[in-house]
């Protein structure tokens, strides 16, 4: 039995585990690229093997009824078709970026994402943004401009990753289904395309996933690597304050940034300056979230005190 003090610790470990896995994900894709996988074959196997892992988690959580309900609800299924398209774009571009020496630009997208979520919340859900939120967004915007100057073009990879994932989050917020069950439906929708592509690659001799036991192991790793961090996130998000999650989420792009530098991607002074502004925005965002949570906790404590 989990004690009350152990539960927050377990949730914190789960949250860190989730973002650490997401942070090191480029190494999985780089490893597959090194043995001959292209980005489309990686994406196909990601969809294919995630179904098995997601299906197991749904079975263990007793969420099979949710999946059946979605499959018989055209409206909900329609929304999940749209979320599937967005996550396929996000996954595909991220795999391509990390296997084509653009991990730094990809990491920028995931620094931008939580700040973009604030704007989406203001626009769609009438959520308020305080002055520190606007400061964080302003710093991030300056960072994007400097990134564009450093690259000689708009940072399309960063922007598409940020916007696709933010849009995905909006849709999933509106669909009444748990994270694991929803992911299983999305993977089921992607499986026909993934399976068709894998069969085509094997038929033409262009596929490498089954050329050796090592390659097959790389392909199979895509399943747990896709589903496990999402399951950890879903479990921890229900047990931790959003401010805590908001702070920890910057761990993933920081690890991705370090991997990009380690892989030898170009890091010019102007590009470093762009990340300084992005890191500044992330720091303001995290600090403001922490202060809001502390103020709310103290207010709740005062309300609970006897008069």
Residue 133 lies in a domain: yes
- The answer as to whether 282 is a domain residue is yes
Q: What is the count of structural domains for the chain?
A: 1
Q: Tens of pLDDT along 161-181?
A: 999 988 888 888 788 888 888
Encode 238-301 in three state secondary structure: CCCCHHHHHHHCCHHHHHHHHHHHHCCCCCCHHHHHHHHHHHHHHHHHHHHHHHHHHHHHHHHH
pLDDT in tens, 237-265: 777 766 567 678 888 999 999 999 999 99
pTM greater than the 0.85 cutoff: yes
Q: Would you say residue 1 lies in a domain?
A: no
Q: Is residue 67 part of a domain?
A: yes
Q: Given a cut of 70, is residue 307 above it in pLDDT? A: no
C-alpha distance from residue 131 to each of 57, 82, 140, 242, 289 (Å): 41, 34, 14, 19, 12
Q: Does a structural domain hold residue 176?
A: yes
> 105: domain range?
6-304
Task: Between 28 and 293, name the one with better pLDDT.
Answer: 28
Per-residue model confidence as pLDDT tens digits over 2-22: 444 556 778 888 889 999 999
For residue 203, the model assigns a pLDDT of 92
């Amino acid at each position: 039995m989990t004690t009350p003090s152990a539960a927050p610790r377990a949730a914190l470990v789960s949250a860190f585990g989730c973002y650490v896995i997401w942070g090191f994900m480029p190494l999985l894709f780089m490893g597959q690229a090194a043995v001959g996988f292209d980005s489309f074959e990686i994406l196909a196997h990601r969809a294919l093997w995630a179904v098995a892992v997601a299906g197991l988690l749904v079975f263990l959580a007793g969420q099979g009824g949710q999946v059946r309900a979605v499959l018989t609800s055209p409206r909900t299924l329609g929304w999940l078709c749209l979320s599937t398209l967005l996550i396929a774009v996000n996954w595909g571009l991220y795999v391509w970026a990390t296997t084509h020496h653009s991990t730094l630009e990809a990491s920028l997208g995931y620094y931008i994402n939580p700040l973009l979520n604030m704007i989406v919340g203001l626009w769609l859900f009438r959520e308020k943004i305080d002055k520190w939120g606007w400061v964080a967004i302003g710093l991030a915007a300056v960072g994007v401009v400097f990134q564009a100057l450093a690259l000689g073009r708009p940072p399309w990879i960063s922007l598409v990753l940020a916007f696709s994932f933010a849009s995905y989050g909006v849709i999933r917020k509106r669909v009444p289904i748990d994270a694991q069950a929803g992911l299983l439906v999305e993977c089921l929708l992607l499986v026909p395309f993934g399976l068709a592509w894998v069969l085509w690659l094997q038929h033409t001799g262009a596929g490498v996933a089954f050329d050796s036991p090592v390659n097959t192991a790389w392909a199979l790793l895509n399943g747990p690597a896709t589903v496990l961090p999402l399951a950890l996130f879903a479990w921890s998000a229900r047990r931790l304050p959003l401010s805590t999650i908001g702070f920890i989420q910057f761990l993933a792009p920081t690890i991705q940034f370090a991997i990009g530098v380690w892989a030898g991607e170009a890091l010019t002074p102007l590009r470093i300056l762009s990340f300084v502004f992005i890191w500044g925005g992330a720091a303001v965002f995290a600090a403001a979230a922490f202060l809001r949570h502390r103020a709310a906790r103290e207010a709740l404590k005062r309300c609970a005190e006897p008069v």
